Amino acid sequence: MTQPKNAIVTGSTSGIGLGIATALAKSGMNIMLNGFGDAGQIEQIRQDLENSYGVQVLYSDADMTLSTEIEAMVAQAETAFGQIDVLVNNAGIQYVAPVDEFPTEKWDAIMAINLTSAFHTTRLVLPGMKARGWGRIINLASAHGLVASPYKSAYVAAKHGLIGFTKTVALEVAEQGVTVNAICPGYVLTPLVEKQIPDTAKARGISEEDVKRDVLLKAQPTKKFVTVEQLGDASRFLCSDAAASMTGTSLTMDGGWTAQ
């Protein structure tokens, strides 16, 4: 009987991360959830995934700005599962402001969570993947990893950096059975996006409905938000044997945004 694979998905207590964790659990993987939120709700999510898909699901509240807590999370997962086969770096935050008014502490936090945390998780799981000759690392970048928008200097810089990091690690392990890819979604109506809508409205001097119609979906020719289920299915594909020759890529799922 084939041993189940084991995955860590950062930022997975809601939104995109939870959608990806759910898809991987559905495919039979044990999951380490990570993120913040109401303890009772997170425990319910953990139990639901275990009961629905018959896999083991753990939870870590590791702060992605702290390397020591990231190390503890990875160690906890390796102790419980035996090994880590799949890493999904999804944790992220956003802040919207003109660059000359951008709070330095917000810049530092965005860089730490959106970019540096992926370095720490990757450096920790990669030795085991290389030793076993198999691994999948998926970095959730963004269409903003390929193009820019005003007032999002930290986010755009971090996501561009994450794509560069993806390419570099992919080349380093290209002959060792480990693939490293980025997924670049357009706008997904997650709690993160919903939270930035008022800030964008304030920065641009328009209504929140105008932000949705004329700012967010204006960039996407399909005029539809990307769904977490679509991103979950894309992640499952990247973990499959069919994607074994895909590495160092940036897989766009942006409703045609970056085709323009």
Distances (CA, A) of 246 to 138, 177, 238: 11, 11, 8
CB-based contact 24:9 (threshold 8 Å): yes
Task: State which H helix or E strand residue 136 sits in.
Answer: strand 135-140
Residue with tokens 């951008």: 102
Q: Is residue 53 flagged as an active site residue? A: no
- Phi and psi, residue 195, nearest 5°: -70, -30
DSSP H helical segments within 112-190, as ranges?
Answer: 117-132, 153-172
Residue 255: count other Cβ atoms within 10 Å of its Cβ. Answer: 20
Helix (H, G, I), strand (E, B) or coil at 6: strand
- Point out the catalytic residue in the list 53, 95, 151, 155: 155
Q: Which residues are catalytic?
A: 155
